[in-house]
Amino acid sequence: TQLLEQSPQFLSIQEGENLTVYCNSSSVFSSLQWYRQEPGEGPVLLVTVVTGGEVKKLKRLTFQFGDARKDSSLHITAAQTGDTGLYLCAGVDGGSAGNQFYFGTGTSLTVIP
Amino acid sequence: DSGVTQTPKHLITATGQRVTLRCSPRSGDLSVYWYQQSLDQGLQFLIQYYNGEERAKGNILERFSAQQFPDLHSELNLSSLELGDSALYFCASSVASSRSPLHFGNGTRLTVT
């Protein structure tokens, strides 16, 4: 079993603050994905990182894949109330008969106006 | 809209009963995954099918079973239901590429009373 630990589990911050969420594993993955889930909906993909050391930026969100492809971080700058949700990382192992996705434990973010 | 359709959206049933959850994957996706999400928790992987064949099993109880049909839709059968089975059940689909994301449906909320 490949486990991904996310920290923190819960985060409540004021609008405008910065935050970082961590996703750690002892396993190496082909790629790593971050999803955001809003109440009553399914998770939606934010980004896929593939190369060790890769950094991807999506507006105020910065994603980094560790050099050894075992861990990742998500940094949000100047958080907004619309960032509220459950953030999930997922390690991906590719295969000819479909990928294996290993989800992290989740980080529940609340941004207070 | 993810392109993944799950029915029904809500299901209320009594302990000991049996229910069937249905999922139609995104057009062209051969892999179907089932996940269980309890309140404020991450996603627990149940089972994966690829092109009609079982590909991987997670923490799926013996009371639960699933199948993927030739038209690629999938059904998750839950029997001898217990109060603890109350949860959101998500179906997701994907193509077999290591960079491809999971596309989630909006889930079926099961309440066992």
Give tens-digit pLDDT for A1-26: 567 899 999 999 999 999 999 999 98
Are A65 and A54 in contact by the 8 Å Cβ rule? The answer is yes
Neighbours of B11 (CB within 10 A): 19
Within 8 A by CB and 6+ apart from A87, the residues are A6, A21, A34, A35, A36, A37, A74, A106, A107, A108, A109
Mean pLDDT calculated for residue range A82-105: 85
Peptide bond before residue A8 is cis, with ω within 30 degrees of 0: yes
Q: Which helix (H) or strand (E) holds B109?
A: strand B108-112
Mean pLDDT calculated for residue range B84-88: 95
Q: What share of chain B has pLDDT > 90, as a percent?
A: 78
Are A74 and A87 in contact by the 8 Å Cβ rule? The answer is yes
Q: How confident is the model at residue B97 (pLDDT cuts 50, 70, 90)?
A: low
Q: What's the half-sphere exposure (Cβ side, CA atoms, 13 Å) at A90?
A: 31
Instruction: Tell if the CB–CB gap between B99 and A105 is shorter than 8 Å.
Output: no
A32-85 residue pLDDT tens: 999 999 988 999 999 999 999 999 999 999 999 999 989 999 999 999 999 999
pLDDT of the residue at B100: 80
Q: Scanning every residue of chain B, which has its alpha carbon at the shortest distance from the alpha carbon of A46?
A: B101
Nearest to B42 among A93, A100, A103 (CB): A103
Residue B72 phi, psi (nearest 5) = 80, -5
Instruction: Tell if the CB–CB gap between B42 and A99 is shorter than 8 Å.
Output: no
A with B: how many residue pairs have Cβ under 8 Å apart?
Answer: 78
| Interfacial residues of B (vs A; Cβ cutoff 8 Å) | 2, 4, 30-31, 33, 35, 40-43, 45, 48, 50-51, 53, 55-56, 90, 92, 94, 96-102, 104-107
User: Which one has a higher pLDDT value, B45 or B98?
Assistant: B45
CA dist., res. A39 & res. B7, Å (int): 18
Nearest to B96 among A42, A97, A104 (CB): A97
Instruction: Tell if the CB–CB gap between B106 and A42 is shorter than 8 Å.
Output: yes
How far does the CA of residue A96 sit from the closest CA of chain B (Å)?
Answer: 6
Residue A82 phi, psi (nearest 5) = -70, -10
Q: What is the Cα A34 distance to its own chain's centre? A: 4
Q: How confident is the model at residue A100 (pLDDT cuts 50, 70, 90)?
A: confident
pLDDT of the residue at A96: 60
Mean pLDDT calculated for residue range B49-65: 92
pLDDT of the residue at A95: 64
For chain A, give the secondary structure using H, E and C: CCCEEEECCEEEEECCCCEEEEEEECCCCCEEEEEEECCCCCCEEEEEECCCCCEEEECCEEEEECCCCCCEEEEECCCCHHHCEEEEEEEEECCCCCCEEEEECCEEEEEEC
- Which residues lie across from B65 on neighbouring strands? B77
Mean pLDDT calculated for residue range B95-99: 69
Would you say residue A87 has pLDDT above 60? yes
β-strand B103-104 against B74-78: which pairing, if any?
A: unpaired
- Which residues lie across from A32 on neighbouring strands? A49, A91
Mean pLDDT calculated for residue range A89-94: 86
β-strand A44-49 against A31-37: which pairing, if any?
A: antiparallel
Are A27 and A82 in contact by the 8 Å Cβ rule? The answer is no
pLDDT of the residue at B101: 87
Q: How confident is the model at residue B102 (pLDDT cuts 50, 70, 90)?
A: very high
